[in-house]
Homo-oligomer: A and B are copies of this chain.
Amino acid sequence: MLNFNFQNPTKINFGEGQIKVISKEIPLDAKVLLVYGGGSIKGNGVYKQVIDALSEHTFFEFSGIEPNPTYDTLMKAQEIIKAENIDYLLAVGGGSVVDGAKFIAAAALYEGDDAWDILAKQQAVTKALPIGAVLTLPATGSESNGNSVVTRDGNKLPFSSPLVRPLFAVLDPSVTLSLSDRQISNGVVDAFIHTIEQYLTYSVNGKVQDRFSEGLLQTLIEEGPKALAPATKENLEVRANIMWSATMALNGLIGAGVPQDWSTHMIGHELTGAFGIDHARTLSIVLPAVMKVRKEQKREKLLQYATRVWQITEGDDNARIDKAIRLTEEFFEAMQVPTRLSDVNLGSNDIDLLINRLEQHGMTALGEKSDITLAISREILTKAL
């Protein structure tokens, strides 16, 4: 196990009916900015529950945060923050809204000349408005971590700070019943791949981390398809298990003390940036190709994955690894997401652009050993055709 420091102070309020706790989680004297997306929370009753819970608070609203939130949209929130002396952000939505709130929170108190530098120059965040989150889409783990990704001119740029980690998060699985199949699919696949990226590297004998990761993967494999099947999709236990898995997949715990490989995410970001493909659907295309191209480097962990997650016991090492990769693809297919570039109408002619973008963004040494060069990323994308 590698040395690590781990801290996650976000208070989790989990379960049906928990939205009402925001009335106590947010100080009564706070001036709150309610931040949300395109308005789906008005159709599914979440908005009303939030407004009811805030009946004794002073609050304002900022809506319109889009999937893959853009810098331009987020900077518009600064006007109301200044005009109304906002001192608390309440993000109500999925990972994009929470990510967006994080940038708004950091930009509001940024002391440099231009908040864009937080993203473009990775300037450290030294202050941020406090954030609470009501999660409506289990996927990114953003509700209890300090990570955020913001898009500008087709470029997805991440930043991270413990200061933008939500102080509390409400996870009510019943809220997810109004999600579309596509949103559920994307969320389950995103959480699955977050877990894989902290697991499928090389062994450091971190048994707790490995068992926890395998438990999350198995839960998502079992519960994900149930959330799409007519007979089980309304089952609140299915939704609860998916929701808690997605949070645990990226709250820092399973990645503490083990190597990590975020190459699938980094390559996937370019697919979203260049072609507008849903984040999770870029990951389901890239991951199987990463597994195939990095089979030798990840051999030990791929075998462990085959045995412990998929219970594959027959065949030689290569056969077991190949079967585990095939079952991973079949899981993605069951979740109705693409597994090939051709599934989203991209071909070999599009690879140059993606490689150029990776280079432009400094993504020239990816993977758990920083040895995935641009040439290997090209190989991965070619394998994904």
Interface set of A (CB-CB < 8 Å, partner B): 1-18, 21, 205-208, 210-212, 214-216, 218-219, 222-223, 237, 240-241, 244-245, 248, 253, 256-257
Least Cβ distance of A27 to chain B in Å? 17
Least Cβ distance of A179 to chain B in Å? 18
- In the complex, what distance in Å separates the CA atom of A12 from the CA atom of B257? 11
Q: Are B241 and A205 in contact, CB atoms less than 8 angstroms apart?
A: yes
Tally of this chain's copies: 2
8 residue pairs, one from A and one from B, having the closest CB atoms: A211-B215, A3-B15, A9-B9, A7-B11, A207-B219, A6-B12, A1-B240, A207-B241
Least Cβ distance of A287 to chain B in Å? 21
Contact of A16 among B3, B21, B206, B210 (CB under 8 A): B3
A17 contacts which chain B residues (CB < 8 A)?
3
A248 contacts which chain B residues (CB < 8 A)?
208
Q: Are B12 and A9 in contact, CB atoms less than 8 angstroms apart?
A: no
Contact of A212 among B16, B211, B222 (CB under 8 A): B211
A211 contacts which chain B residues (CB < 8 A)?
211-212, 214-216, 218-219
Q: Are B9 and A14 in contact, CB atoms less than 8 angstroms apart?
A: no
A7-B9, A214-B215 known; A208-B241 Cβ under 8 A = yes
Q: Are A237 and B3 in contact, CB atoms less than 8 angstroms apart?
A: no
Least Cβ distance of A210 to chain B in Å? 8
A1-B241, A208-B216, A215-B211 known; A7-B7 Cβ under 8 A = no
Q: Are B237 and A205 in contact, CB atoms less than 8 angstroms apart?
A: yes
A5 contacts which chain B residues (CB < 8 A)?
11-14, 21
- In the complex, what distance in Å separates the CA atom of A210 from the CA atom of B240? 14
- With both beta carbons as reference points, the residue of chain B lying nearest to A5 in the complex is identified as B13
A11 contacts which chain B residues (CB < 8 A)?
5-7
Q: Are A7 and B15 in contact, CB atoms less than 8 angstroms apart?
A: no
- In the complex, what distance in Å separates the CA atom of A5 from the CA atom of B21? 10
- In the complex, what distance in Å separates the CA atom of A14 from the CA atom of B219? 28
A218 contacts which chain B residues (CB < 8 A)?
207, 211
A18 contacts which chain B residues (CB < 8 A)?
3
- With both beta carbons as reference points, the residue of chain B lying nearest to A9 in the complex is identified as B9
A4-B15, A5-B11, A257-B14 known; A223-B207 Cβ under 8 A = yes
Q: Are B4 and A256 in contact, CB atoms less than 8 angstroms apart?
A: no
- In the complex, what distance in Å separates the CA atom of A356 from the CA atom of B301? 54
Least Cβ distance of A365 to chain B in Å? 25
Interface hub of A2, A208, A244, A253 (most chain B Cβ within 10 A): A208
